[in-house]
Structure 1
Amino acid sequence: MAIHRSKSSQRSSPEVERLVADSISLAASGSQVEDRFWEGRLDERLLRLLKSQNQNAIDAALDQTFRINTIAFEVLADAAETLAESIRIEHDGQQWDALLLAIPIVAHTRYQIPSGPLPTTVVQATALALHNTVTAVDSRLAIVPWLYSIDQMPQSHCQTRVLTETLAMAAVTGSDIKLELRDMSETIAVLADPRFIVAVVAAPTGSPLFRWQAETPLRQERGVSLIGWQNAMHDPIASLLPGCEFELLLPEAYFTNCRLADKHVRPLSIRAAVNFLESTIGVLPAGLSSVVGAFGEEQADEYRISFSIKGSSEINYGVIWPLYDRESVANDALNDLSDDESPIKRICDALHDAGVEDVFRHAMLFDPELCDDCGAPLFPDRLGEQVHAEMPEDTPSQQPLFH
């Protein structure tokens, strides 16, 4: 998905160079008048690439700007996401603005988090709750009848744009959603993960999409909408996720909410791992040790967190804490706890909150290796070796591993 840092190594092309140049120019602009000029140029180029499904050029431009100008990277990333998740269409002489929504459900369990087709009753409950608590009075909706895992979501800006166009037309015209949902990828069994309902909200151009955009007396603050949404959807979602604890986040723009949900689930993944180890091998959190290391090819793209029984060198379990486009860590500060907002500080706080007291932090950057046999990520031990996480041999029935 385009919410992650790109790994493209494509050589520069004229399209890439123009995207990079326009992004740098927009980042350097000193006025709104100039902003609008460069925004128009940048949007025009990006739209051509999105319509021709040229994701490689977009990724290459993002890579270049990330390396040479972080402000330009933010500009380009925001423009690409905006054009992928929003669209203006005309129907019966009326202009409509449409926005793709990701509706996150952040869940954790000791069993398995479901995904798959949404019952008609849940789709109807979602539409009613959105209209009553979140979207503006004159808005229209199209809701995909599927509960998505993150690996089933569109994996690029181009794919996201296609989904936005399909749902926007269905929302505005009131027609059926034409999507092929039968060939969805298999969902990886993990203990803490977001699930998503995906929808489009559309409104006449110039009209609000959300209740917090409306004028008084129809205006409703986001916090009020969130409480109303959570109350309305608790029972329908509980029926979908038996054996799971979950939190409903506010329906919002696609890319923003994908990042928010993934960040929200990271500390829950640590807590779920500790709970799993306690229930499976009977070790209290204080009896666990953890090793944390940063992984990436040139810079940290993720942290990998190993768990073992205190006093043992065997790694029994592992959790990944991914970093996203707007997060970066200098290679000389990979284990620096002085910044309260740093990833390593958040990881250590989450471990301590879960009851793990013995935490070892590596200061080096590891190459992100995978197991040659099963493809699972390898995790660091105290000696700096990357090893496969293996549960003790006498562990009872194996449950889904969280990687």
Structure 2
Amino acid sequence: MKRNRFSSRKRISADATELGRLAIGLAESGSKIEDLFWQKRLAELVDRLLHDGAEEDLNASLDRLFDTHAMAHDDLADIVESQAESCTMLDRGQDFDVLLIAVPVLGWSRFSIPATAIPQSLLQTLKVQLGAHVFAAGARVALADYLYSPDQLPHSFVDTWQLLQKLGAAALAGCDLGVDASSMPETNRFLSDTRYLVGALAVPRGMPLFRWNEEDKTTREAALKEWVRQGAPCFEPLLTGCAYQPLLADAYHAACRAADSASRPYSLNASVAFLQATLGDSADNLRAIVGGFHDKRLEEYRIGFGPRDEDIIYHGVVWPLLGIEDETTDVAGEIEGVLRKTGLKEVTLLDQQFPYEFCDDCGAPLYPNIEGETVHAEMPEQDDAPSQTLH
């Protein structure tokens, strides 16, 4: 899956070229032994580039491979992510596997969804619940004392690696990581968004990281059920005035992707609940119009919500395509299924291709109406109205 960065045709460095050569070797390997040969050399080079802060070399190689060798691009992306979120650290003569983890929490509110510092007492409670239901017995855990918004997470492989080093060292030292939020970017205000608890696990080399890795055969599903039941109340003091749903902790990049996927149906459910509460009306009296928006390819679906008997769009949701989804995937059918489960009776799927455009004045997405036009989402006048885009 291509990461969000712009391609470059400029001459790339010797290290970036070597990354590409090794990644193509791995992609074209015909045996597990040869896989290990290429993976070891790739991991060593990626580790050096992360340590040197050579983000441009990593991105340049990925961009070049995206254009020339899709399998090699995916293999290199997997290794870069892996090296950015995991490592081996030495403590008192013993090697430890260290993994950067994230715990996503989906939330929505008519007011602001906080991104906030976590009091130490609450951080300890979260560690106890995660240790009891999610992490393997004996895993050392460090958490950052901040509930991050997506805007505040590391936005590069090097930044992710640096956070891994700090949290890994904290886990081995038996402490947590204090976060200075003063330099963080401001959080955009959306009706529906994700918050992240970020931390690191450290276990003796080769030992289980999570409960479902242990011999008692606890499943991921069982771990999630207990985490939601026991851990969800811990977030209530942090997310006052919000409806929220914790997801399962996982490796950093996997957890972020899982949150991106889960946030799409969650946003639709939140949207209908918001409109019913704000308008004082039932789902029966709402209508959703679904349209596909294209650039060079289908990029996303946008869903406009309005009253069933009027040509007005009150509210909008963006449903981006993820991973291998494209025009051949029945994403529109999935969206319709989610909407009908909310109680909407009238869901219109438009066949036309909408241009991937935004408002020239404010930059907001435009949403389809029943006439097949793109318009602003405009709620009736109300106090403290947040952005009308659900993410």
TM-score > 0.5, shorter chain as reference: yes
Aligned-residue offset at 1:282:
4.0
Give the partner amino acid of 1:163. Answer: L
Which residue of the partner structure matches residue 142 of structure 2? Answer: 142
3-state SS of 2:278 partner: helix
Aligned-residue offset at 1:126:
1.2
- CA pair 396-130 structure 1, distance change in 2 beyond 3 A: closer
Which residue of the partner structure matches residue 48 of structure 1? Answer: 48
CA contact (8 A) 1:101 1:253 kept: yes
Q: Deviations 1:89-121 (Å, cap 9, x if unpaired)?
A: 223322111001111222233443222111222
- CA pair 27-382 structure 1, distance change in 2 beyond 3 A: farther
Which residue of the partner structure matches residue 263 of structure 1? Answer: 261
Q: Where in structure 2 are the equivalents of 1:246-261 lying within 5 Å?
A: 246-261=244-259
CA contact (8 A) 2:46 2:80 kept: yes
Which residue of the partner structure matches residue 376 of structure 2? Answer: 388
3-state SS of 1:115 partner: coil
- The percentage of aligned residue pairs carrying the same residue is 37
Which residue of the partner structure matches residue 112 of structure 1? Answer: 112
Q: Where in structure 2 are the equivalents of 1:341-380 lying within 5 Å?
A: 342-356=330-344, 357-364=346-353, 366-367=355-356, 369-380=357-368
Q: Deviations 1:313-338 (Å, cap 9, x if unpaired)?
A: 333221111223x23313xx4xxxxx
Which residue of the partner structure matches residue 295 of structure 1? Answer: 293
3-state SS of 1:116 partner: coil
CA contact (8 A) 1:377 1:388 kept: yes
**Using the alignment, how far apart are the partners of 1:68 and 1:103 within structure 2?**
35
Aligned-residue offset at 1:83:
0.9
CA contact (8 A) 1:286 1:355 kept: yes
Aligned-residue offset at 1:244:
2.8
Larger deviation, residues 142-151 vs 85-94: 85-94
Which residue of the partner structure matches residue 385 of structure 2? Answer: 399
Aligned-residue offset at 1:398:
4.3
Aligned-residue offset at 1:67:
4.2
Which residue of the partner structure matches residue 163 of structure 2? Answer: 163
- CA pair 304-17 structure 1, distance change in 2 beyond 3 A: farther
- What is the number of residues matched between the two proteins? 386
Larger deviation, residues 123-132 vs 307-316: 307-316
- CA pair 235-27 structure 1, distance change in 2 beyond 3 A: same
3-state SS of 1:301 partner: strand
Query: What runs of 5+ residues in structure 2 fail to find an aligned partner?
Result: none
1:329 matched to 2:326? The reply is: yes
Q: Where in structure 2 are the equivalents of 1:2-401 lying within 5 Å?
A: 5-12=3-10, 13-14=12-13, 15-174=15-174, 177=177, 179-215=179-215, 220-324=218-322, 326-330=323-327, 333=328, 342-356=330-344, 357-364=346-353, 366-367=355-356, 369-382=357-370, 384-392=372-380, 395-401=381-387
**Using the alignment, how far apart are the partners of 2:294 and 2:68 within structure 1?**
18
Give the partner amino acid of 2:146. Answer: W
Give the partner amino acid of 1:401. Answer: S
Alignment TM-score, normalising by the size of structure 2: 0.89
CA contact (8 A) 2:148 2:195 kept: yes
For the aligned residue pairs, the C-alpha RMSD in angstroms reads 2.5
Alignment TM-score, normalising by the size of structure 1: 0.87
3-state SS of 1:159 partner: helix
- CA pair 187-283 structure 1, distance change in 2 beyond 3 A: same
CA contact (8 A) 2:314 2:379 kept: yes
